[in-house]
Structure 1
Amino acid sequence: MYFIQPTRDIPYLDQVIDTLPSVQMIRIDDIDLYDQTIIAIADVQDYLTHRWNLPTIVLGFEDEGLALSQAWEQGALAGWIWSKLPAEPQQALLKIDAQYKRNQDSRDLPSAAELQKRLLPNPIELVNYEIETLFQPSAYLSGDWFDYWKISDKELIFYLADVSGHGVTSSLLTSWMAAFHGRSKTPRELLKKLNGMLVQENIEKHITMISGILNLETHQLRWSSAGHYPPAIIFEPNQPPKILNTSSFPLGLTEDLEVEEYECVLSRQARFIICSDGALEPYVGGLNEQFEQLVYHLQNQSFKAPEHVADDIAILSLCRLN
């Protein structure tokens, strides 16, 4: 930490410096040369006069309560009295530093969320098909993710994944997937590679995922699932919904992951939809009742995500046009 040399006479200065031997003394004129994220300790009058950007703990005399209050309003981290430091000042500094870093992390979350959203795939124009998506994190960062990309003029590969848990670690795994997937050419290959890397790195997370490949000319759809719920659904005009149940383990649990591949042909105006389990949260009842309600609203195109959700929501829909 820094200690900014006071510009006025402080009778307690040597005593305070002796109490805090690990701080680095710097001059006010040189503040811009130092790391702006490291906490500084400074006289309150200097702080109010020079208005620097360093995170600062201010020190004042006992009769300078108003000045200490003004410094607090202007962003000082804490206010101490020159002649009455905390009983264990080093421990107090460590606590303030830890809290400051936590607050900085929180301030960075909106920017991190914006960066995460930029990693989502850009809309692409497809012959005979339209892609519709929904992405709504429950907090700033999401552990749900989807992506799609063309591997040839007539083939589109896609996936929707749900990382266990919430928070920064889960969201980092979605960014990792976004950077990793491009070398995979089939759903099974994608799932196998992701699973192998998760197991090898011993990351204490698992991922459920549905991945598929669509031929835009023949309308053949091949897909695989890794323990994902809810299952994929196909909606066709004047037909009951087709629930594409599968059975498998999530990614990251075992090296011996068996990945089955399924296929069908999408008819005209068919919609193939995959969702994360957060899409069930708006509905009441047990898991089966929630799923029935989700299917109803997806079929009638009346699904609406609440403004505030308890779990991340991601939906990816492939719609064949006339």
Structure 2
Amino acid sequence: MYFIQPTRDIVHLDQVLETLPSVQMINIEDLHLYDPTIIAIADVQDYIKYQWSVPTIVLALEDEGSALAQAWELGALAGWIWNRLPSNPQQALIKIDAQYKRNQDSRDLPSAANLQKRLLPNPIDLLNYKVETFFQPSAYLSGDWYDYWKISDKEIMFYLADVSGHGVTSSLLTSWMAAFHGRSKTPRELIKKLNGMLVQENIEKHITMIAGILNIETHHMRWSSAGHYPPAILLEENKAPQILTTSSFPLGLTEDLEVEEFEFQLSYNSRFIICSDGALEPFSGGLNEQLGQLVHHLQNQSFQAPDHVADDIAILSLHRFN
């Protein structure tokens, strides 16, 4: 930490510096040369006068209560009295520094959320098809993720994944998936590779996923599920909705993950839809009742998530319109 040399005479200065031997003394005019994220200790009058942006603990004389209040308004982290430091000032500095870093992390979350959203795939033009998506994190960062990309002029590959838990670790895994998937050419290969990486790195998270590959000329689809709920939904014109239930384990639980691959033809004006389990949250009842209500709203294109959701929501739909 830095200690900024006071511009006024302070009789207690040497005593304070003896109590804080690890701080680095610097001059006000050189402050711009130092790391602006490291906490500084300074005289309250200098802080009020120069109003720098470096995080600062201010020191005041006993009769300078109003100056301390003004420093608080300007953003000082803490206020101490020159001749009455905390009983263990080093420990107090450690606590203030830890709290400051936690607050900085919280302030960074909106920027991190914007960056995560920018990693989502850009819209792509597909002959006879439209990719429709919905993405709503429950907090700043999401553990739900989807992606799609062309692997040839005729084929598009896609997946939707749900990382267990919430927060930074879960969201980092979504970014890891986004960077990793490009080397896979089939749904089974993608799931197997991701599972192997998770098990190898011993990350204490599991991931459920549905991945598929669609030929936009023949309308032939192959897809696989890794323990994902809700199951994939197939909506076809003039037919009852189909719930494409499968049985499998999530990623990250076992090296010997069995991945089954399914196939069908996507008919005219039909939609293949995959959702994260957060899409069930707006509805009441048990899982079957929630799934039924979700399917009804997807079928009628009336799904609306509340402004504040308890779980992340991601939806990916492949709509054949010609």
TM value normalised by structure 2: 0.99
Distance in 2, Cα, partners of 1:57 & 1:193: 50
* Correspondence for 1:256: 256
Unmatched tracts of structure 1, length 5 or more: none
Aligned-pair distance for 1:123? 0.2
Aligned-pair distance for 1:135? 0.5
* Correspondence for 1:121: 121
Which aligned pairs between 1:1-322 and structure 2 lie closer than 5 A?
A: 1-322=1-322
Aligned-pair distance for 1:121? 0.2
Distance in 1, Cα, partners of 2:82 & 2:93: 15
SS of aligned partner of 1:16: helix
Aligned length: 322
SS of aligned partner of 1:258: coil
One-letter amino acid of the structure 2 residue matched with residue 267 of structure 1: S
Distance in 1, Cα, partners of 2:14 & 2:284: 66
One-letter amino acid of the structure 2 residue matched with residue 273 of structure 1: I
Distance in 1, Cα, partners of 2:18 & 2:300: 73
Query: Over residues 21-43 of structure 1, what are the superposed CA-to-partner deviations in whole Å (9 max), with x where a residue is unaligned?
Result: 11111111110111000000000
Distance in 2, Cα, partners of 1:61 & 1:53: 22
Distance in 2, Cα, partners of 1:279 & 1:73: 43
SS of aligned partner of 1:122: coil
Aligned-pair distance for 1:87? 1.3
Structure 1 segments, 4+ long, off by >3 Å, are none
Aligned-pair distance for 1:296? 0.9
Unmatched tracts of structure 2, length 5 or more: none
Distance in 2, Cα, partners of 1:91 & 1:307: 42
RMSD between aligned alpha carbons? 0.6
One-letter amino acid of the structure 1 residue matched with residue 241 of structure 2: P
One-letter amino acid of the structure 2 residue matched with residue 297 of structure 1: H
Percent of aligned positions that are identical = 81
One-letter amino acid of the structure 2 residue matched with residue 290 of structure 1: Q
One-letter amino acid of the structure 2 residue matched with residue 217 of structure 1: E
Distance in 1, Cα, partners of 2:293 & 2:318: 20
Distance in 2, Cα, partners of 1:291 & 1:153: 35
Query: Over residues 161-194 of structure 1, what are the superposed CA-to-partner deviations in whole Å (9 max), with x where a residue is unaligned?
Result: 0000000000000000000000101000000000
TM value normalised by structure 1: 0.99
One-letter amino acid of the structure 2 residue matched with residue 170 of structure 1: S
SS of aligned partner of 1:282: coil
One-letter amino acid of the structure 2 residue matched with residue 124 of structure 1: I
Distance in 1, Cα, partners of 2:65 & 2:30: 28
One-letter amino acid of the structure 1 residue matched with residue 303 of structure 2: F
One-letter amino acid of the structure 2 residue matched with residue 201 of structure 1: E
One-letter amino acid of the structure 2 residue matched with residue 202 of structure 1: N
Distance in 1, Cα, partners of 2:99 & 2:193: 39
One-letter amino acid of the structure 2 residue matched with residue 252 of structure 1: G
Aligned-pair distance for 1:286? 1.1
Query: Over residues 118-157 of structure 1, what are the superposed CA-to-partner deviations in whole Å (9 max), with x where a residue is unaligned?
Result: 1000000000000100000000000000000000001000
One-letter amino acid of the structure 2 residue matched with residue 200 of structure 1: Q
One-letter amino acid of the structure 2 residue matched with residue 110 of structure 1: P
SS of aligned partner of 1:93: helix
Aligned-pair distance for 1:238? 1.3
Distance in 2, Cα, partners of 1:288 & 1:80: 60
